[in-house]
């Protein structure tokens, strides 16, 4: 029996956060057995922002080691770098001719990143969602597990696929997003009205998967809350406390109501202390496994190379079909 295809990606930029884990990686693991999975280190996407080459190379291995430490199975799933399969850039060019400038102009990530990197608003940043569409459509993907911020890109991918199929026949599978019901948008600890992000300049705003346990505890204890002292879930009026409750629900598997019942009236101290313990209990074993994998670079490179070979063959099949319907010489 062939399993449906699942694909997702993370940029090898910055350091992986608890937001990446809750919004993306742990859902990949939960779905891994039921799908034929491809997990990309999207290095072509990462260079839309300037990267140091040595750091980029190091991070690709580091992220892979963390994925395996989080429980992904490289024997079963294909984990590789986007740049190892030339078809991504190739299909992105073709799909550029099926994506409208007006559509790309509406992408909120483009607007945010343009504001953040005002000195380098390059064309890659603008075309970023088309490369993401290529990643997905190249493998006839059915399901794409992502955090809430990627929903708009997924909708664009579906529109591009449908537009292409209407003109040229059923070439692409139209993918569905998978957005987790809890934890799809973990906010910053210091700035709880903006999402926790792995390439933020303010390290106390994010919990990194490789932070030392005492650093994690300190960051959670210093997280911004408010002054009314009431443990209640209300993201509008109480973004800080609501974010802590959301993180707690995600890492403990409990629902927010039961946490509110337990901590109501107790002030924020006990909530923060218990949350810090729960996060550390999740992350400590993961770090121990990470250190083992990191000590074996040959193992990591072997995983990437094997997966890239597998993915290349699959990508070629789609590209052949695309060339045929477009009238390119074979
Ligand atoms: P960067 O700051 O480098 O742009 P990022 O932290 O936004 O990075 P991405 O590589 O853009 O991370 O995203 C990887 C995956 O993690 C995506 O599926 C994204 O939706 C998810 N994700 C990122 N941040 C969060 C968050 N704060 N809460 C939930 N999911 C998140
Ligand atoms: N744009 C995504 C990363 C990404 C991705 C993908 C996610 C690139 N290609 C394909 C899912 C499927 C982001 O999180 N910034």
Query: Which pLDDT tens digits describe the chain residue by residue (330 residues)?
Result: 799 999 999 999 999 999 999 999 999 999 999 999 999 999 999 999 999 999 999 999 999 999 999 999 999 999 999 999 999 999 999 999 999 999 999 999 999 999 989 999 999 999 999 999 999 999 999 999 998 999 999 999 999 999 999 999 999 999 999 999 888 999 999 999 999 999 888 889 999 999 999 999 999 999 999 999 999 999 999 999 999 999 999 999 999 999 999 999 888 999 999 999 999 999 999 999 999 999 999 999 999 999 999 999 999 999 999 999 999 998
Q: Phi, psi at residue 155, to the nearest 5°?
A: -65, -40
pLDDT of residue 200: 84
Longest CA span, the chain: 71
Of 10, 13, 90, 17, which Cα lies nearest the Cα of 53? Answer: 13
pLDDT of residue 266: 83
127 plus 30 within the same structural domain: yes
Q: Phi, psi at residue 154, to the nearest 5°?
A: -65, -40
Pick the ligand that lies closest to the CA of residue 67: 1
How many whole angstroms separate alpha carbon 196 and alpha carbon 190?
Answer: 9
pLDDT of residue 15: 95
Residue 56 domain boundaries: 5-183+297-326
243 plus 141 within the same structural domain: no
pLDDT of residue 185: 94
Q: Phi, psi at residue 81, to the nearest 5°?
A: -90, 140
Q: Report the chain's C-alpha Rg in angstroms.
A: 21
Which pair of tokens denotes residue 142? 């059915």
How many whole angstroms separate alpha carbon 39 and alpha carbon 108?
Answer: 24
Q: How many folded domains does the chain comprise?
A: 2
Burial class (CB in 10 A: 0-12, 13-18, 19+), 21: buried
* CA 190 distance to own-chain centroid: 21
125 plus 263 within the same structural domain: no
197 lines ligand 1 (CB under 6 A): yes
Give Cβ neighbours of residue 172 (< 8 Å, ≥ 6 apart). Answer: 137, 140, 161, 164, 165, 318
- Work out which ligand 1 atom sits closest to the CA atom of 17: 6
139 plus 54 within the same structural domain: yes
- Work out which ligand 1 atom sits closest to the CA atom of 16: 6
What is 176-206 written as a DSSP string?
EEE--SSSSSPBPSS-TTSB--TT-S-GGGS
Q: Is there a domain that residue 204 lies in?
A: no
74 lines ligand 1 (CB under 6 A): no
240 plus 302 within the same structural domain: no
113 classed as catalytic: yes
From the CA of 38, how far away is ligand 2's center (Å)? 12
pLDDT of residue 330: 83
pLDDT of residue 265: 83
pLDDT of residue 230: 93
Catalytic residue, candidates 195, 219, 238, 272:
195
Q: Is there a domain that residue 188 lies in?
A: no
Catalytic residue, candidates 113, 219, 238, 272:
113
262 plus 309 within the same structural domain: no
61 plus 102 within the same structural domain: yes
Q: Is there a domain that residue 35 lies in?
A: yes
146 plus 277 within the same structural domain: no
132 lines ligand 2 (CB under 6 A): yes
User: What is the number of helices (H) and of strands (E) in the chain?
Assistant: 14, 5
How many whole angstroms separate alpha carbon 259 and alpha carbon 262?
Answer: 5
226 plus 98 within the same structural domain: no
31 plus 169 within the same structural domain: yes
148 plus 238 within the same structural domain: no
- Work out which ligand 2 atom sits closest to the CA atom of 149: 14
Whole-Å CA distances, 17 to 56, 151, 168, 203, 211: 17, 19, 41, 10, 9
């Amino acid at each position: 029996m062939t399993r449906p295809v699942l694909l997702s990606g993370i940029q090898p930029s910055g350091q992986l956060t608890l937001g990446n884990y809750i919004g993306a990686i742990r859902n990949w693991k939960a779905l891994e057995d039921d799908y034929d999975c491809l997990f990309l280190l999207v290095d072509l996407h990462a260079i839309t922002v300037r990267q140091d080459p040595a750091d980029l190379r190091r991070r690709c291995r580091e992220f892979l080691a963390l994925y395996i430490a989080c429980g992904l199975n490289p024997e079963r799933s294909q984990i590789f770098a986007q740049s190892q399969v030339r078809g991504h850039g190739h299909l992105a060019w073709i799909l550029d001719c099926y994506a409208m400038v007006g559509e790309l102009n509406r992408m909120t990530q483009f607007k945010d990143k343009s504001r953040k990197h005002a000195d380098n608003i390059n064309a890659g940043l603008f075309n970023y969602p088309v490369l993401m569409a290529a990643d997905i459509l190249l493998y006839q993907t059915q399901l794409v597990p992502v955090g809430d911020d990627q929903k708009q890109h997924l909708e664009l991918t579906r529109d591009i696929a449908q537009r292409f199929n209407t003109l040229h026949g059923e070439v692409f599978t139209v993918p569905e997003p998978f957005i987790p019901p809890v934890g799809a948008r973990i906010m910053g600890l210091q700035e709880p009205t903006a999402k926790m992000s792995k390439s933020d300049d303010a390290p106390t705003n994010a919990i990194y998967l490789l932070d030392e346990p005492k650093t994690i505890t300190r960051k959670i204890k210093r997280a911004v809350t408010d002054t009314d002292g009431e443990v209640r879930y209300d993201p509008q009026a109480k973004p800080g406390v609501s974010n802590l409750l959301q993180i707690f629900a995600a890492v403990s598997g409990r629902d927010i109501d039961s946490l509110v019942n337990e901590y109501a009236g107790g002030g924020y101290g006990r909530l923060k202390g218990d949350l810090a313990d729960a996060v550390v209990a999740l992350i400590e074993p993961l770090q121990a496994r990470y250190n083992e994998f990191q000590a074996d670079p040959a193992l990591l490179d072997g995983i990437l190379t094997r997966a890239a070979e597998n993915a290349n063959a699959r990508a070629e099949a789609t590209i052949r079909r695309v060339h045929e319907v477009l009238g390119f010489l074979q």
